[in-house]
Amino acid sequence: MEKSNKTKAIVLIIICTLFATAAQPLYKIGISRLSLSNSIISLITENIAVIAGLFFYGLAAIFLIFALKYGELSMTMPLMATSYIWVFIISIVFLHEKLSAQKLSGTLSIVAGIYLIANSGYKAENKIKRR
Amino acid sequence: MRAIAIILTIASAAFCSIGSLYLKKGTKKAKKASDYLFNKKIMLGMSIYLAATVLYLVALRMEELSVLFSISATQYIFTAVLAKNFEKERITAKRWAGIMLIIAGIALISIS
């Protein structure tokens, strides 16, 4: 039971970081070219990026809340750093940014940290459940 | 200016972790959808989160992203301390090591 709750929290937080990572560029691009039209339809179509960005942020918040329900605070929050891994992948694969040794070692350090956190603390979780 | 930006970022990191603590507390007894929607603790948590974001955005206007980015990663330390004291979570050595590796990683990425 404890173990499956933890797995749930990890899955939920990973989905949360995916939405948060997608939301950021959409919101940034959208807000930089925000247009104020007087018809509702063109207001929506011209600002679709910022609307999608905000929508994704909202989804990320919902997934975060459910992840926090199932997982310990000190495990769930640091796992939010998974978003840095997504940013790294996007910047290399889609934006063709140069891969520096520093960026790679930083990302690997985050991966190692996430691995350690995801594999820590069943005992504490049991304790909380029993109270 | 730089000192103010750093203080604002640390405050933002602290707010972020306080916000997440309230979110966590809010979800404890919630079962139905309405329990989440009309939940004082979740609303408070969200508002504190929003305040943290505003503080961070103000700080970003004063100082370079790379420096502040690394400092904002200290929120995981605040979160661990709050979790230990208010949620009675046990922060194992493994978990501390993970947090430190993540902070080091974020610093490496942002300073490059």
Q: What is the pLDDT of residue A1?
A: 47
DSSP notation for B34-86: HHHHT-HHHHHHHHHHHHHHHHHHHHHTTS-HHHHHHHHTTHHHHHHHHHHHH
Question: Which candidate in A73, A114, A129 is best for mutational testing of the B interface (most B CBs within 10 A)?
Answer: A73
A23 and A57 in contact (C-beta within 8 Å)? Answer: yes
* H-assigned helices in A47-81: 48-70, 73-79
Nearest chain A residue to B79, by CA? A74
What's the pLDDT band for B21 if we cut at 50, 70, 90? very high
| CB nearest A107 (choices: B42, B103, B109) | B109
Q: Which one, of A65, A64, A55, lies nearest residue A22 by Cα?
A: A55
How many residues are given for chain A? Answer: 131
| Distance (Å) from the alpha carbon of B24 to chain A's nearest alpha carbon | 5
Q: What is the pLDDT of residue A129?
A: 54
The token pair that represents A85 in the structure block: 């891994």
Question: What average pLDDT does this structure show over B56-68?
Answer: 85
Task: Supply φ then ψ for residue A103, to 5 degrees.
Answer: -65, -45
What 3-state DSSP class applies to A78? Answer: helix
What 3-state DSSP class applies to B30? Answer: coil
B83 and A62 in contact (C-beta within 8 Å)? Answer: no
Cα dihedral A112, B105, B53, A70 in deg (nearest 10):
10
The token pair that represents B81 in the structure block: 């301390």
* Whole-number CA gyration radius for chain A: 18
Determine whether the interchain pair B94/A75 forms a contact, defined as Cβ–Cβ distance below 8 Å: no
Q: What is the pLDDT of residue B112?
A: 66
Q: What is the pTM of this model?
A: 0.86
The ipTM (two decimal places) reads: 0.88
What is the C-alpha to C-alpha distance for residues A21 and A83, in angstroms, rounded to an integer? 6
* Contact list, B90 vs chain A (CB under 8 Å): 121, 123-124, 127
B98 and A120 in contact (C-beta within 8 Å)? Answer: yes
| Distance (Å) from the alpha carbon of B88 to chain A's nearest alpha carbon | 8
Question: What average pLDDT does this structure show over B69-94?
Answer: 94
Determine whether the interchain pair B30/A69 forms a contact, defined as Cβ–Cβ distance below 8 Å: yes
Task: Please tell me if residue A77 touches chain B, with a CB cutoff of 8 Å.
Answer: yes
List per-residue pLDDT tens for chain A, 131 residues long.
Answer: 466 899 999 999 999 999 999 998 888 888 888 878 778 888 888 888 889 999 999 999 999 999 999 999 999 999 999 999 999 998 888 888 888 999 999 999 999 999 999 998 655 445 555 54
Q: Which one, of A117, A127, A130, lies nearest residue A9 by Cα?
A: A117
B47 has pLDDT over 90: yes
Task: Please tell me if residue A82 touches chain B, with a CB cutoff of 8 Å.
Answer: no
| CB nearest B92 (choices: A73, A107, A120) | A120
B73 has pLDDT over 80: yes
Task: Please tell me if residue A119 touches chain B, with a CB cutoff of 8 Å.
Answer: yes
